[in-house]
Amino acid sequence: MIAYGDSAAWAALGDPTRHAIVAALAESPLAVGELAADLPVSRPAVSQALKVLKDAGLVSERAEGTRRIYRLNHAAVAALRDQLDTFWNRTLANYADLADSDRPAEES
């Protein structure tokens, strides 16, 4: 079972704006203004979304002059991928078990 602490990252990805930000940051690190220019929301909304992503551990920031540059936290994204791989592998194993149990027993 996933610890409840991990659910913040999944919840953060549930919002379309935050999901779009993560997709953009997967391409390259960006400043708030650069992100806002490509999204149908205001700059303050992008800042709020970045705060949620940062609090969830998915995004980090660094100062570059007066701007803040945001980038994905690759370790956090890798952890989410590991969880998805675990879910997928369990699902496949359960499906295989179910398919095997539905097969008629071979006659001896």
Segments forming the whole domain that contains residue 73 = 4-102
Instruction: Examine residue 61 and state whether it is found in any structural domain, yes or no.
Output: yes
| Structure tokens given for 17 | 């704006």
Taken in order 63, 64, 67, 72, is the CA torsion positive or negative? negative
At 105, is the pLDDT very low, low, confident or very high (cuts 50, 70, 90)? low
Amino acid 6: pLDDT: 62
pTM of the model: 0.76
Instruction: Report the domain count for the chain.
Output: 1
Task: Kindly report the CATH number assigned to the domain that includes residue 68.
Answer: 1.10.10.10
Instruction: Examine residue 30 and state whether it is found in any structural domain, yes or no.
Output: yes
At 53, is the pLDDT very low, low, confident or very high (cuts 50, 70, 90)? very high
Measured distance CA(66)–CA(91) in Å, rounded? 48
| Structure tokens given for 25 | 């940051």
Q: Exposure of 31 by Cβ count < 10 A (0-12 exposed, 13-18 middle, 19+ buried)?
A: middle
pLDDT tens, residue by residue, 75-89: 999 988 888 888 788
Measured distance CA(6)–CA(9) in Å, rounded? 6
Instruction: Examine residue 108 and state whether it is found in any structural domain, yes or no.
Output: no
pLDDT tens, residue by residue, 9-49: 989 999 999 999 999 999 999 999 999 999 999 999 999 99
